[in-house]
Amino acid sequence: MAAVSLALAGLVLAAAFVGLTVQGNAIAREIAGYRTDIVADQAQHDALAAQIADQKTADYVRQKARDYGYIAPNESIIAVQRDGQASDALARVADDGPSRIGRWLAFFFGSR
């Protein structure tokens, strides 16, 4: 009977060790997963820190101001229409008024 109880105790002890080993392996996998998450978060943090550092530069601020239509002192904006045709508003202004010669005649001789 003592041998059976000793064998049973050994079996229970072996089962306990197996359970602890399985639990230890699960904890090790969790730790590895958390370390991977930390590395990924650190990489994202570094990328965001680099982006913030870039956005603090004068060149970035100047470019953003240009994107919003601001210009620096002693600069001017020149717009070029690519299709080669005058826009409708410009065409109407040019067509609605008197010709250049008509304006000169009115200027020098008055309107009659």
pLDDT given at position 80: 75
Which pTM does this prediction carry?
A: 0.45
CA atoms within 13 A on the CB side of 3: 0
86 in the Ramachandran plot: left (φ > 0), alpha (ψ -120 to 50) or beta? beta
Question: Is residue 74 pLDDT above 60, yes or no?
Answer: yes
| Tens-place pLDDT, residues 7-61 | 777 778 888 888 889 899 999 999 999 999 999 999 999 999 999 999 999 999 8
